[in-house]
Amino acid sequence: MSDLVFYPAYQLAQLIRDRRVSAVEVLEAHLAQIARHNTILNAICTLDEENARLRAQQADAAIAQEECWGPLHGVPITIKDFYETQGLRTTAGYAPLHNYMPERDATVVDRLRQAGAVLLGKTNPSDVNGAYQGLNDLFPRVNNPWNINYTPGGSSSGTAAAIAAGFSALDLGSDIAGSIRQPAHCCGVYGLKPTDQRLSLAGHIFEVPGQPHCIRQMLVPGPLARSIKDLQLCFSLLVGPDRRRPSLPPVPLDVVSDKPLQALRIAWSDDFRVPIAREIQTALRHAAQQLSEQGARVENWSPPDIDWTAAQTLYYQIAAFNFRYAQPVTLKAAQKSLTFLWRETTQGDRALRQSGSPTQALSAMFTPTLLAYFEVLTQRDRFTTQLDAALADWDVWLTPVAATVAFTHRPAWSAIEIDGKVYPHAVANGAYTMPFNLSGHPAVVMPIGYTQAGLPIGLQIVGHRWREMELLAIAQQIDEVVGNFQHPPGYE
């Protein structure tokens, strides 16, 4: 089985349980793929071959005794380097943590291990200031397996690149402004951003060890994979209360309605925030047409009466409060933040800069007050309620993931040209993802096509809060009509 590295995780687990292939064989295939290609991609930043081999051997011994550890028994996975892994270096791409060895796993990592997964290594992220591309202070930049001159997106940069290149069957990313969805779009894989507060963030580093738990809104863990079924499986393993995060609501898995495609009400929009690249627009409109031809009720729509520019400003204000104390204030961190602010407010088309300017977050960043924090949270509640009401008549809403596909490597937060117009970096990449971090709605990204230059194009599918299993079931039906997963050429 020479193509083991591109099997979805659920199929690998079944093959191992049926003894058609051993966990060791599966692991060695992935390690060989990493050895062949990682020096070019830099997707894996820390490899744990010795412990992964031991775990795979134990998995095979257990199967021989007719013992199954769980749904991921023997399946090799990787984890974004923002998640603590017991005894395995965890850095978050942050120089002061270059040798940090956690004493316990993040909750979501522990749950995947308990399900039988074999952790083979950590994937290379963007750091907090690394923009929507794989840049940090510790490791070489991550390259896109579809074209190494292009970014894989960020901050789950190595995560998406590793899944696309066959380094791993499953990975955990995290998303505060599109950091699961934009890399999935750039690398042609699947990703899930769950509802805000749906999964535990215990052991996830944005706050460095020793800092208070600051980031309490908009940041969520989520899986990246090569199939919707893997997203469903992984999410079902991660969900549930956590004693380490007592504020996490104990919401059970939702019950899927099993509506046929022909009964679904599907809204779609290709421009509710900023103009998108023509090839993305063409792909999205073609997907809507295909779904309509299969009998779904599909309508071009965007929520009325929502001020998206105000929502963008509100997002930045909340983010500034959240990040203010997450890491120690240093001259280097301040310089990075100011570089981001300068580039976002001076580069690109003037109207686009105004639609996504972060400058109104300056007061929250430098002179935060408790009253101002409560005020922006109250505004966030209103926005979420407004979007909930707008989406009530639809099963899902199809949108672009970003205004651009993967772009060439450049300094962090530099502007991006799209069809002859220059966009601020965060507008080009975050305009269609940030609103759903702000509102907390879940979203799935899936590949639906490729540009003439051979770069992937993703589709974002937005669902109802707390209804991830329903969203994933609908995404599976949509995937069967318009999905287009392929692995990059040259990685066979």
Name all domains of the chain by residue range, CATH numbers in brackets.
Answer: 4-238 (3.90.1300.10), 261-478 (3.90.1300.10)
Q: Give the residue with greater pLDDT, 327 vs 65.
A: 65
Across 156-180, average pLDDT: 98
Catalytic residue status for 336? no
Each residue's pLDDT tens digit, 195-247: 999 999 999 998 888 888 888 999 999 999 999 999 999 999 999 999 999 99
pLDDT at 349 over 70: yes
Question: Is the predicted pLDDT of residue 325 greater than 90, yes or no?
Answer: no
Please check whether residue 481 is in contact with residue 211, taking contact to mean a CB–CB distance below 8 angstroms: no
Mean pLDDT for the stretch of residues 259-271: 96
23-37, 261-275, 342-356: which range is least confident on average?
Answer: 342-356
Rounded mean pLDDT, 382-410? 98
**Does the pLDDT value for residue 331 go beyond 70?**
no
Predicted confidence band of residue 392 (pLDDT cuts 50, 70, 90): very high
pLDDT at residue 14 is higher than 80: yes
Ranges 141-145, 303-307, 441-445: which has the least confidence = 303-307
What pLDDT shows up at residue 1?
52
What does the pLDDT average to over 92-101? 93
Q: HEC profile for the chain?
A: CCCHHHCCHHHHHHHHHCCCCCHHHHHHHHHHHHHHHHHHHCCEEEECHHHHHHHHHHHHHHHHCCCCCCCCCCCEEEEECCECECCECCCCCCHHHCCCCCCCCCHHHHHHHHCCCEEEEEECCCCCCCCCCCCCCCCCCCCECCECCECCCCCCHHHHHHHHHCCCCCEEEEECCCCCHHHHHHHCCEEEECCCCCCCCCCECCCCCCCCCCCCCCCEEEEEECCHHHHHHHHHHHCCCCCCCCCCCCCCCCCCCCCCHHHCEEEECCCCCCCCCHHHHHHHHHHHHHHHHCCCEEEECCCCCCCHHHHHHHHHHHHHHHHHCCCCCCHHHHHHHHHHHHHHHHCCCHHHHHHCCCHHHHHHHHCCCHHHHHHHHHHHHHHHHHHHHHHCCCCEEEEECCCCCCCECCCCCCCEEECCEEECHHHHHHCCCHHHHHHCCCEEEEEEEECCCCCEEEEEEECCCCCHHHHHHHHHHHHHHHCCCCCCCCCC
Predicted local confidence at residue 390, as pLDDT: 97
Instruction: Give the rounded percent of residues in the chain with a pLDDT score beyond 90.
Output: 84
What are the Cα distances from residue 229, in Å, to 11, 192, 264, 287, 347?
A: 10, 11, 20, 20, 41
pLDDT per position as a tens digit, 23-79:
999 999 999 999 999 999 999 999 999 999 999 999 999 999 999 999 999 999 999
Look at residue 365 and tell me whether its pLDDT is greater than 80: no
Q: Is the pLDDT of residue 2 over 70?
A: no
Identified catalytic residue from 80, 122, 193, 336: 80
> Mean of the pLDDT values across residues 242-265?
95
Kindly name the residue from 156, 157, 168, 179 that is annotated as catalytic: 179
The yes-or-no verdict on residue 298 having pLDDT over 80 is yes
pLDDT at 338 > cutoff 80:
no
Closest CA to 120 of 155, 168, 158, 165: 168
pLDDT at residue 183, rounded to an integer? 98
Residue with tokens 């069967």: 480
At residue 8 the predicted structure's pLDDT band, cuts being 50, 70 and 90, is: very high
Q: What is the mean pLDDT of residues 261-284?
A: 95
Predicted pLDDT of residue 329? 66
Q: With a threshold of 0.95, does the pTM exceed it?
A: yes
Asked whether the predicted pLDDT for residue 129 surpasses 70, the reply is no
Can 80 be counted among the known catalytic residues? Answer: yes
Question: Which member of 22, 122, 126, 155 is catalytic?
Answer: 155
pLDDT at 492: 84
| Residue 91 exposed, middle or buried by CB count within 10 Å (0-12, 13-18, 19+) | buried
Beta-carbon neighbour count of residue 368 at 10 Å? Answer: 14
What pLDDT, on the 0 to 100 scale, is given for residue 322? 86
Distance set, CA 290 to CA 164, 285, 286, 293, 325 (Å) = 25, 9, 6, 5, 48
pLDDT above 80 for 153: yes
Asked whether residue 3 carries a pLDDT value surpassing 70, the answer given is: yes
236 is catalytic: no
